[in-house]
Amino acid sequence: MDQESFEQAILAVLREVPEQHRMPILAMVQGLVKEQIHHKTPPTRPTYSVERHREIRRLTATIRGSLAEAISAERDERG
């Protein structure tokens, strides 16, 4: 992500922050930036969850089944 896109994304998110939460969020962001830049810690990668993968597969199969039923019903109506 280029610098300008990054800045625009951050600004878009920050515009949604209510006034009473601004200072704590600013402190958190500053801490994260210092941690990432000064300590050269690698960015954390999301962990792979087998259970989450299975749930996504189940949902995908359900959606496919529903779509197949809808298409079949539509064909029956036309046919």
pLDDT band at 2 (very low <50, low <70, confident <90, very high): confident
- Number of structural domains the chain divides into: 2
Helix (H) / strand (E) element for 58: namely helix 50-78
Domain containing 78 equals: 46-79
pLDDT tens per residue across span 29-64: 888 888 888 776 566 677 788 888 888 888 888 888
Looking at the structure, do residues 8 and 30 belong to the same domain, yes or no? yes
Q: Could you tell me the pTM of the whole model?
A: 0.42
Same domain, 74 and 52: yes
| Matching residue, tokens 């210092």 | 34
50 plus 33 within the same structural domain: no
pLDDT at residue 68, rounded to an integer: 81
